[in-house]
Structure 1
Amino acid sequence: MLSEDLSKIIRSASFDIEQSGTLPEDLLQVAYEEKLFKLFLPEELGGRALTLPEAALVFEDTSREDGSFGWLTTIGSGGNLFLENMTASQAQELYSPVNSVIAGSGYATGEAHVEQDGYRVSGKWRYCSGAPYASMVTANTIVWRDGRETDEMRACIFMPDQVEVIKDWNAFGLKATGSHTIVVNDAFVPMDKTFSVVKKQNSLGLAVHSFPFVQFSQVSFTAVCLGLGSRFLEEAHKLAEQSKPHWEAERIAMTMRLLDERQHRFNEAAQLFHAAVERRWEMHLRDALNDQELDQLSAVCMETVDIATDCAVQLFRRLGMQAVLETSPVNRVFRDLWTAGQHGFLTRP
């Protein structure tokens, strides 16, 4: 759980975050101080060494206070998953600073041409959340040798001065996540600043680093949607109460009944989600997690997001003109929820 003071700090900055389209510097410093981008790093690297169930609660809580802040907390900590893929020396150097945070992309849309002791890299990658303040950027590339494309994929670690950020994130929600396109032109990347996403190179990792990546991501993003869904219901209740003097009795009764029904359905889904995550985490620790259990966890995640977004849609139509104003809290959280829920890991085939 977030402290009451931290919750107030995040929520009080929420309007400015939306209007400016970025995290204010003072809030970014709070994130560093609270180690919110280091949830999955060991203490020796300045991390909080959380389990996946524990971190899911942090993602949910931060997203409840502000969608963009919660998303960036989730993405920033997700970058910790590359810890074991790097060489030990690079991992210690890059993750140890207080302001260490990764932005990047899993799409292999770059080219890495083999040179002596490294690669000459160019490429363009979309949706790199946190790019404006990242201390490093990771992105996948296809390796080229002797002028020919190979079937080998290599992740490269770029320093900020090697990266151009194209500010093209214009989604209708999560406006302050800085999920921009990054471009790298003819940058030299030493061999020890590249890695394979499937090869382990050190023993610095925690139990979370061996949890299957797809389900790790689904759990993380579902937690964001739960936080946003919870905030939407909170704001919907507030708006309905404020509107009672202006609504007919029948409308008040129908709206409040629907609010209660959707709140109950949402609470059930949240409980089932967290129970499912706890179960798979315990199985993971016992080395008993199988494909069937993972598939079921994926299904729970997608069902949970469906319920959260469906609750918002059903209620939004009942909330009147105030809900359509972009400055309204219920409007913003509605947009953030739907944007988060569109992530490829959460959409059904």
Structure 2
Amino acid sequence: MYIDYSGGIPDTLLQWLYEEKLFKLFIPEELGGRMLDLPAALRVFQKVSETEGNMGWLTAIGSGGGMFIPNIEKSLAEQLFKDEKAVIAGSGYPNGKARKIDGGYIVSGEWKYCSGSPFASFYTANSQTEEGEIRSFIFMPHQVEIIEDWNALGLRGTGSHTIRVRNALVSDEYTFKLDVPKNEYAGPVHRFPFLPFSQASFMSVCLGITMHFYQEARQIVKRRIKNDDTRFRPVDLLLTEQETIFQQKVDTFYTEIERLWNLHVQGNSLSEKEINQFSKMCKEDLQLVIQGVDTLMRYLGMDAIMETSSLNKIWRDLHTASQHAFITPL
């Protein structure tokens, strides 16, 4: 519960994330990364989220920043990513305004929900130029003001605050476009379509948090039955039923992402139909997963409603993670 109350990740855990290169899962080994394929990375996201939801979310978001590496000038990419503590925070929404000048841009704007903002080594955000073009800009910490406004139901330790820049001078080298490669660091994962990549990443985090929920619920039910609370015997049956349904959804998710990944690495472009079907599956299955968790919550008594309980925190983290626009029912 320390993370909930402090609003951040303890330095010891943050150091562990750095040492395990969990923000560098899609960074080439020559720059200190692990360069995993997508299915392997998703299992890492799930496992870390199963341990602690905030850390899982930050792992997915931080690693996701590595998807930009092929679009950044090579010398700058090496400078930014070689640092053991390299991690990006930022936003894809084009909320900023950029004015062109000789050699660069003057950029101003605010971007919400920038997870990892308190410890990011640099920031990326999209802005619209005076010509109507959307460009991505790299800001260094001294250019960024963090507005500590992340006050959500859960994932309270992710530091998903608003960032603000005011008349920041950004040289041309520190801008990029996502469809323009600038170096040879792109691997298969960088060429995977962005939407299913993002949906799979957030889905795996939610699956990990849900796994943790069922583990915690199982401990509560065991303890109550051991104390001769006969009311919890039917709850034990309901828990087993929900765990089975949940595991089926996990298996289906990984079967489908493996199928899409194999098509991709074999050189096949994913069709719009395949991408839409995967999106639909993620949204519908996550909705069923959350309904199963919420159904069980009604039977877990006071253990479920106290903010100081681990179960309550896990439940809040799940409902917060699942609110990301890419995986909501809309």
TM-score in same-fold range (> 0.5) = yes
Deviation of 1:307 after TM superposition, in Å, equals 2.4
Letter in 1 for 2:283: M
Asked if 2 retains the 8 angstrom alpha-carbon contact of 1:107 and 1:140, the reply is yes
Letter in 1 for 2:96: G
Whole-Å separation in 2 of the counterparts to 1:258 and 1:322: 17
1:225 matched residue in structure 2: 206
Deviation of 1:245 after TM superposition, in Å, equals 5.6
Deviates more, 1:18-27 or 1:111-120: 18-27
Gaps of 5+ in 2: none
Letter in 1 for 2:50: R
Whole-Å separation in 2 of the counterparts to 1:337 and 1:45: 33
Asked whether 1:275 is paired with 2:255, we answer: yes
2:2 matched residue in structure 1: 16
Question: Which residue of 94, 97, 101 maps to 2:80?
Answer: 94
* 1:1-349 matched pairs, under 5 angstroms: 15-144=1-130, 150-244=131-225, 249=230, 251-288=231-268, 289-349=270-330
Letter in 2 for 1:22: G
Deviation of 1:292 after TM superposition, in Å, equals 1.8
Whole-Å separation in 2 of the counterparts to 1:25 and 1:252: 40
Letter in 2 for 1:178: G
Structure 1, residues 289-320: CA drift from partner, whole Å, max 9, x if none?
22222122212221231122111100000000
Partner of 1:201, secondary structure, is coil
Deviation of 1:261 after TM superposition, in Å, equals 0.6
Letter in 2 for 1:280: L
Partner of 1:151, secondary structure, is coil
Whole-Å separation in 1 of the counterparts to 2:13 and 2:237: 38
Whole-Å separation in 1 of the counterparts to 2:278 and 2:102: 45
Whole-Å separation in 2 of the counterparts to 1:196 and 1:75: 19
Deviation of 1:348 after TM superposition, in Å, equals 2.0
Letter in 2 for 1:259: L
Letter in 2 for 1:217: S
Partner of 1:37, secondary structure, is coil
Asked if 2 retains the 8 angstrom alpha-carbon contact of 1:262 and 1:311, the reply is yes
Letter in 1 for 2:81: Y
Whole-Å separation in 1 of the counterparts to 2:287 and 2:25: 27
Partner of 2:135, secondary structure, is strand
Whole-Å separation in 2 of the counterparts to 1:222 and 1:273: 9
Whole-Å separation in 1 of the counterparts to 2:18 and 2:107: 30
Gaps of 5+ in 1: 1-14, 145-149
Whole-Å separation in 2 of the counterparts to 1:41 and 1:248: 52
Asked if 1 retains the 8 angstrom alpha-carbon contact of 2:225 and 2:233, the reply is no
Deviation of 1:247 after TM superposition, in Å, equals 6.8
Letter in 2 for 1:315: L
Whole-Å separation in 1 of the counterparts to 2:236 and 2:30: 51
Partner of 2:198, secondary structure, is helix
Asked if 1 retains the 8 angstrom alpha-carbon contact of 2:3 and 2:9, the reply is yes
Deviation of 1:248 after TM superposition, in Å, equals 5.0
Letter in 2 for 1:101: V
Whole-Å separation in 1 of the counterparts to 2:303 and 2:3: 21
Say how many residue pairs are matched. 329
1:3 matched residue in structure 2: none
Whole-Å separation in 2 of the counterparts to 1:247 and 1:222: 37
Whole-Å separation in 2 of the counterparts to 1:65 and 1:232: 10
Once superposed, what is the RMSD of the aligned Cα atoms? Answer: 1.1
Deviation of 1:275 after TM superposition, in Å, equals 0.6
Deviation of 1:286 after TM superposition, in Å, equals 1.3
Deviation of 1:332 after TM superposition, in Å, equals 0.5
Structure 1, residues 16-53: CA drift from partner, whole Å, max 9, x if none?
22221101112111111100000001101111010000
